[in-house]
């Protein structure tokens, strides 16, 4: 397996030159465009790594999958889906447009920023601190890594440059899709995006989703089967932003990307894959990361369709 991973990494290294690191959140500019790493964790708990698997980066939009799972575990599903939809938007992840033009004004799905801000607002806790602690604990548990924490430089940077998210959140409050203090919700959203992880953490979380919420190491149930199924379904339909359709055709694996350069993929009953490559295409997906997953899907016969 390691030989295949190395081959796939080497063949696709050239694609890092076809993109740029994210710069709209100033702190993300510090990433190294050439970094590239792949980690696979399979159902027998074998861990395979090549390239920059220990390099830390922020989870960004990949956090939306985990916060969705939390929102579904904390609330009645009817309540969750009365506030966020189930349809791909076809628009960029940070688009505000459909909050006005949709009949219901409801965010299309929980994988775009507007929908994710809603799911973040649904995390339970008596105080903002308690919500943050619960969130952190859940991420650490799913990744089996107690060292996961917030990168405060990225968090500050998100906060000062996050006016588009702020505008959406106020609109969502005005239209009754979020309750309570908007700044508090945004604060938690910026924190979840700023969690620092590596490719191994992504592979581990991907494997936990692939196993329908059961920890493959000790058999512990982390997420219910139905919730893990729902999260993977959203990953297929909306996980790669407005490139999700093309990704489903070419790769055929539930996956979620983030502007930090990560992609988490989850092959049902088989493996979790974490890819890191901060050079992004125009839609915000890791250029080399997408190519790597395309090759892995072919070589290892992973297409779920
Ligand atoms: N924190 C980023 C934002 O809100 C997350 C976006 C992403 O990874 N696509 O804009």
Spatial distance between the Cα atoms of 111 and 257, rounded to a whole number of angstroms:
10
Q: What is the pTM of this model?
A: 0.97
Report the atom number in ligand 1 closest to the C-alpha of 259.
8
pLDDT for 68 beyond 90: yes
Please indicate if the annotation marks 200 as binding a ligand. Answer: no
Among protein residues, the one with the nearest Cα to ligand 1's atom 4 is 113
Spatial distance between the Cα atoms of 42 and 37, rounded to a whole number of angstroms:
17
Q: What is the CA radius of gyration of the chain?
A: 18
Q: Give the model confidence (pLDDT) of 79-123 as tens digits.
A: 999 999 999 988 888 888 888 888 888 999 999 999 999 999 999
User: If you measure from the C-alpha of residue 162 to the centroid of ligand 1, how many angstroms do you get, rounded to a whole number?
Assistant: 9
Report the atom number in ligand 1 closest to the C-alpha of 241.
9
If you write DSSP's letter for every residue of 180-221 in order, what string do you get?
S-HHHHHHHHHHHHTEEE-HHHHHHHHHHHHTTTB-TTT--B
**Strand pairing of 47-51 and 195-197?**
unpaired
Among the ranges given (22-31, 143-152, 274-283), the one the predictor scored with the smallest mean pLDDT: 22-31
What pLDDT was estimated at residue 280? Answer: 97
pLDDT for 188 beyond 90: yes
Please indicate if the annotation marks 113 as binding a ligand. Answer: yes
Please indicate if the annotation marks 61 as binding a ligand. Answer: yes
What pLDDT was estimated at residue 91? Answer: 85
Report the atom number in ligand 1 closest to the C-alpha of 193.
1
| Residue 61 beta carbon below 6 angstroms from any ligand 1 atom | yes
User: If you measure from the C-alpha of residue 260 to the centroid of ligand 1, how many angstroms do you get, rounded to a whole number?
Assistant: 8
Give the ranges where the chain is alpha helix by DSSP (H). 2-12, 63-74, 77-83, 98-101, 113-121, 128-143, 152-161, 163-174, 182-193, 199-210, 225-238, 244-250, 287-299
Edge-to-edge strand ranges of the sheet holding 57-58: 57-58, 195-197, 149-150
- How far the first Cα of the chain sits from its last, in Å, is 23
| Residue 57 beta carbon below 6 angstroms from any ligand 1 atom | no
Angle at the Cα of 110 from the Cα atoms of 229 and 88, rounded to 5 degrees: 85
Residues acting as catalytic residues: 61, 64, 189, 241, 259
User: If you measure from the C-alpha of residue 61 to the centroid of ligand 1, how many angstroms do you get, rounded to a whole number?
Assistant: 5
Among protein residues, the one with the nearest Cα to ligand 1's atom 6 is 61
Instruction: Name all domains of the chain by residue range, CATH numbers in brackets.
Output: 2-59+197-299 (3.40.710.10), 61-193 (3.40.710.10)
Mean pLDDT of the 2-6 span? 95
Mean pLDDT of the 29-58 span? 97
| Residue 113 beta carbon below 6 angstroms from any ligand 1 atom | yes
* Residue (of 188, 205, 191) closest to 118 by Cα position: 188
User: If you measure from the C-alpha of residue 57 to the centroid of ligand 1, how many angstroms do you get, rounded to a whole number?
Assistant: 13
Q: Give the model confidence (pLDDT) of 247-298 as tens digits.
A: 999 999 999 999 999 999 999 999 999 999 999 999 999 999 999 999 999 9
Considering the chain, what is the average pLDDT of its residues? Answer: 96
Q: What is the ipTM of this complex?
A: 0.96
What pLDDT was estimated at residue 100? Answer: 84
What pLDDT was estimated at residue 90? Answer: 82
Residue in the block written with tokens 């991420």: 139
Among the ranges given (25-29, 133-137, 191-195, 292-296), the one the predictor scored with the smallest mean pLDDT: 25-29
User: If you measure from the C-alpha of residue 193 to the centroid of ligand 1, how many angstroms do you get, rounded to a whole number?
Assistant: 7
Please indicate if the annotation marks 165 as binding a ligand. Answer: yes
| Residue 178 beta carbon below 6 angstroms from any ligand 1 atom | no
Q: Give the model confidence (pLDDT) of 199-242 as tens digits.
A: 999 999 999 999 999 999 899 999 999 999 999 999 999 999 99
| Residue 95 beta carbon below 6 angstroms from any ligand 1 atom | no
Please indicate if the annotation marks 285 as binding a ligand. Answer: no
């Amino acid at each position: 397996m390691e030989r295949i991973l190395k081959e796939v990494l080497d063949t696709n290294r050239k694609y890092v030159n076809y993109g740029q690191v994210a710069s709209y959140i100033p702190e993300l500019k510090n990433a190294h465009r050439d970094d590239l790493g792949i980690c696979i964790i399979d159902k027998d708990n074998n861990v395979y790594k090549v390239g920059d698997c220990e390099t830390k980066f922020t989870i960004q939009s990949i956090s939306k999958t985990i916060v969705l799972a939390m929102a579904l575990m904390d609330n009645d599903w009817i309540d969750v889906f009365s506030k966020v939809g189930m349809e791909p938007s076809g628009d960029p992840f940070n688009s505000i447009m459909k909050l006005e033009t949709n009949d219901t004004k409801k965010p299309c799905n929980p994988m775009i920023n507007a929908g994710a801000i809603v799911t973040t607002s649904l995390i339970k806790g008596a105080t903002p601190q308690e919500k943050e602690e619960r969130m952190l604990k859940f991420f650490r548990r799913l990744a089996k890594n107690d060292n996961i924490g917030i990168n405060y430089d990225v968090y500050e940077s998100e906060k000062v440059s996050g006016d588009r998210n702020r505008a959406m959140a106020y609109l969502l409050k005005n239209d009754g899709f979020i309750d309570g203090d908007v700044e508090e919700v945004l604060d938690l959203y910026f924190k979840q995006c700023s969690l620092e992880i590596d490719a191994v953490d992504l592979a581990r979380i991907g494997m936990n989703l692939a196993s329908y919420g059961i920890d493959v190491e000790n058999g512990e149930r982390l997420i219910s089967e139905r919730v893990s199924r729902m999260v993977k379904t959203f990953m297929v339909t909306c996980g790669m932003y407005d490139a999700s359709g093309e990704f489903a055709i070419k790769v055929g694996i539930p996956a979620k990307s983030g502007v930090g350069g990560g992609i988490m993929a989850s092959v049902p009953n088989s493996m979790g894959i974490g890819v890191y490559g901060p050079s992004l295409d125009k839609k915000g997906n890791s250029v080399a990361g997408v190519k790597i997953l395309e090759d892995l899907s072919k070589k290892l016969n992973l297409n779920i369709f």
